[in-house]
A and B are shown apart, each in its own frame.
Chain A
Amino acid sequence: MPSAASPPINGDLPRQFASRDALNTLLAQEFPEAEGELSPIRGGREAAENKLRRIDARSYAKSRNHLNGAVTGLSPYIRHGVLSLPEVRDAVFARIRNRDEGGKLINELGWRDFWQRMWLDLGDGIHHDQEPFKTGHDAGAYSRELPADVRAGTTGLACMDGFRDQLVSTGWLHNHARMWMAAWLVHWRRVHWKAGADWFLEHLLDGDPASNHLSWQWVASTFSHKPYFFNRGNLERYSDGHFCDSCPSANSCPLEGSYDQLENRLFAPMPAIRETGNNRNQQRQRRSSGGASAALARPKR
């Protein structure tokens, strides 16, 4: 481990720790307001390289939508530049025998690059609704507060409480879990996406306002043509029934139903969509004036 380049003076934070517990204690002293404990996911180059070595682009393509699929877990390291996107791209190239094998994973790295470019373009505009909701509900119909039972993980839905526990204890969630949780919070609980997005950023080790806020907006429909939603069958399939089997609400599951039934239940008939002046006016001048006409195809249903 390299040592600090300059001799320490008063106020420098320590660089030597006898153990991870000692780091935990130091953080509790220095940042008493920061809640929770350390994540089992470690920072640093070695941990990142271990994950990089385990990339399996072929199984990734087949299984990435499953909670136990061969996803890479690289997002925290990429987000903080421990690994650069070109480095991960080249690691994928080195492991595949033809272009088909790497197509899906390279595509996802492209998503990361795309959201970063959108952020450069929109600046702090990503914090605001990019477009009106396409749910038939007005923005004002969504609560601005994260409900206490969601924060505490006591909603009685085994899936959502399980995702909350994983989010809070590890700081990482599978993409599909993020989508389900966002959709449930916005469309079933009628909470504004920003409340959920800010809560995610408290915890995600890969917490990135661009990927996070714009994905939430995609789910909510303020950055897409239509809201993303799902049903119990979809969640059960991609989680191998893991949650439903032990769910106290299994017989009164709000996620149960066909897509048509849920659509009728969750969304109001849409008034004609007006092109209202929107928050893009709040973009900072320096950033490109180019129109970001929203409507993304991410993440897939």
Chain B
Amino acid sequence: MTFQRPILWIHEEALGANNPALQAWPEAPAVFVFDTCWIQDARISRKRLGFLYENALDLPLTLRKGDVAAEVLAFARRHQADGVVSSSAVDPRLEQIGEAIDAELPLELLDPEPFVELPRPPRLGRFSRYWREAEAVVWEGYSAAR
């Protein structure tokens, strides 16, 4: 899927310059939306909002608050965008917002760089199982400077 003029949806799992959407589309208009429902339902304190805000200010973003999907779609209309690019999220809440956006306008999700790339999905359930498969692969990236 290649967009001509996408906008970027930056969410709270990827408020860094290494966000793959920002890297792929450095010139595209980008938006971060404070999710007012979540803030109210989860009683999110001001210090968490301030922390998110300060992270967001470091990036070339427009900041909004409200219903996230609706705000992202409005931002897309404001820029006559033909699609939305974002980074894939782990949080089901963000995933659902992504689905709501995608129902109106195509959404492309880019994967952030993984901590460790394993040949097949590791066995979970216990950390020790996962780590038995992952640890050696993580350390492959280390070459001791001797």
B138 contacts across to A, CB distance below 8 A: 89, 106, 110
Q: Are B124 and A11 in contact (CB under 8 A)?
A: no
Q: Are A39 and B51 in contact (CB under 8 A)?
A: yes
Cβ of A269 under 8 Å from chain B? no
Q: Are B124 and A290 in contact (CB under 8 A)?
A: yes
Partner of B90 from the list A28, A98, A210 (CB cut-off 8 Å) is A210
Q: Are B115 and A109 in contact (CB under 8 A)?
A: yes
Partner of B92 from the list A106, A111, A123 (CB cut-off 8 Å) is A123
A210 contacts across to B, CB distance below 8 A: 90
Q: How far is the CA of A6 from the CA of B27 in the complex (A)?
A: 10
Tell whether A99 pairs with B115 under 8 Å between CB atoms, given A13-B63, A23-B50, A202-B45: no
Q: Are A93 and B141 in contact (CB under 8 A)?
A: yes
Q: Are A171 and B17 in contact (CB under 8 A)?
A: no
Tell whether A33 pairs with B54 under 8 Å between CB atoms, given A203-B48, A293-B125: no
Q: Are A82 and B53 in contact (CB under 8 A)?
A: no
Q: Are A298 and B39 in contact (CB under 8 A)?
A: no
Cβ of B60 under 8 Å from chain A? yes
Cβ of B100 under 8 Å from chain A? no
A42 contacts across to B, CB distance below 8 A: 51, 54
Distance in angstroms from B67 CB to nearest chain A CB is: 12
Q: Are A5 and B28 in contact (CB under 8 A)?
A: yes
Partner of A33 from the list B39, B63, B122 (CB cut-off 8 Å) is B39
Cβ of A2 under 8 Å from chain B? yes
Distance in angstroms from A133 CB to nearest chain B CB is: 19
Partner of B124 from the list A3, A43, A118 (CB cut-off 8 Å) is A118
Give the most central of A30, A42, A82, A171: most B CB within 10 Å.
Answer: A82
Distance in angstroms from A162 CB to nearest chain B CB is: 18
Give the most central of B15, B40, B45: most A CB within 10 Å.
Answer: B45
Tell whether A36 pairs with B55 under 8 Å between CB atoms, given A4-B61, A84-B112: no
Q: Mark B109-130, 1 if CB is under 8 A from A, else 0.
A: 0001111100001101111101
Cβ of B52 under 8 Å from chain A? yes
A82 contacts across to B, CB distance below 8 A: 15-16, 55, 58
A9 contacts across to B, CB distance below 8 A: 78
Distance in angstroms from B103 CB to nearest chain A CB is: 16
A8 contacts across to B, CB distance below 8 A: 62
Distance in angstroms from A234 CB to nearest chain B CB is: 22
Distance in angstroms from A244 CB to nearest chain B CB is: 28
Q: How far is the CA of A6 from the CA of B8 in the complex (A)?
A: 12
- CB nearest to B8 among chain A residues: A5
Cβ of A24 under 8 Å from chain B? yes
Q: How far is the CA of A8 from the CA of B14 in the complex (A)?
A: 23
Distance in angstroms from A72 CB to nearest chain B CB is: 16
Q: Are A3 and B60 in contact (CB under 8 A)?
A: yes
Cβ of A120 under 8 Å from chain B? yes
Interface positions of A from 280 to 301, Cβ below 8 Å from B = 284, 288, 290-298
Cβ of B97 under 8 Å from chain A? no
Q: Are B54 and A35 in contact (CB under 8 A)?
A: no
Q: Are A296 and B126 in contact (CB under 8 A)?
A: yes
Q: Are A6 and B78 in contact (CB under 8 A)?
A: yes
Partner of B139 from the list A6, A39, A106 (CB cut-off 8 Å) is A106
Tell whether A43 pairs with B55 under 8 Å between CB atoms, given A31-B34, A295-B125: yes
Q: Are B113 and A34 in contact (CB under 8 A)?
A: no
Q: How far is the CA of A85 from the CA of B29 in the complex (A)?
A: 26
Cβ of A15 under 8 Å from chain B? yes
Q: Are A117 and B124 in contact (CB under 8 A)?
A: yes
Tell whether A27 pairs with B46 under 8 Å between CB atoms, given A76-B51, A124-B92: yes
A33 contacts across to B, CB distance below 8 A: 39-40, 43
Distance in angstroms from B20 CB to nearest chain A CB is: 10
Q: How far is the CA of A293 from the CA of B14 in the complex (A)?
A: 30
Can you identify 14 A-B contacts, CB atoms within 8 angstroms?
A: A4-B60, A6-B29, A6-B62, A13-B34, A24-B50, A27-B53, A37-B46, A45-B58, A81-B112, A113-B115, A117-B130, A202-B42, A203-B45, A296-B127
- The 3 A-B pairs with the shortest beta carbon distances in the complex, nearest first, are A43-B54, A39-B47, A81-B14
